[in-house]
């Protein structure tokens, strides 16, 4: 059985990929940034944008959360992901009037 991290997407991102949840294989020592860069190559290039700077993406500033802890710095993107972890990517919520 492969080692996986659960990636949960919201709103527009989930609509684009037609998936709200993706189980991503990980290898020992893989970081949040490396996981997003891999998804950028394999799934959609906007994952690579998030890996570089989650504050400046085509969706606006997105929130990246690893196991209920918001990643709020470039150093946070270097956090190691482990089997069973859950990574959330939440784009800004847009309202209307």
Does pTM surpass 0.85? yes
When pLDDT is cut at 50, 70 and 90, the band that residue 74 belongs to is confident
Which residue matches tokens 């998804």?
A: 39
pLDDT in tens, 46-55: 999 999 999 9
Output the CATH code of domain 4-90: 3.10.20.30
Q: Edge to edge, what strands does the sheet with 86-90 contain?
A: 21-25, 4-9, 86-90, 63-66, 69-71
Domain ranges within the chain, ordered by starting residue: 4-90
């Amino acid at each position: 059985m492969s080692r996986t991290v659960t990636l949960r997407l919201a709103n527009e991102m989930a609509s684009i990929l037609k998936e709200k949840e993706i189980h991503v294989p990980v290898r020992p020592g893989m970081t949040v940034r490396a996981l997003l860069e891999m998804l950028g190559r394999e799934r959609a290039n906007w994952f690579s944008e998030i890996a570089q700077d989650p504050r400046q993406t085509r969706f606006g500033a997105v929130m990246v959360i690893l196991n209920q802890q918001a990643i709020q710095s470039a150093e946070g993107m270097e956090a190691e992901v482990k089997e069973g972890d859950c990574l959330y990517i939440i784009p800004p919520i847009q309202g209307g009037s």
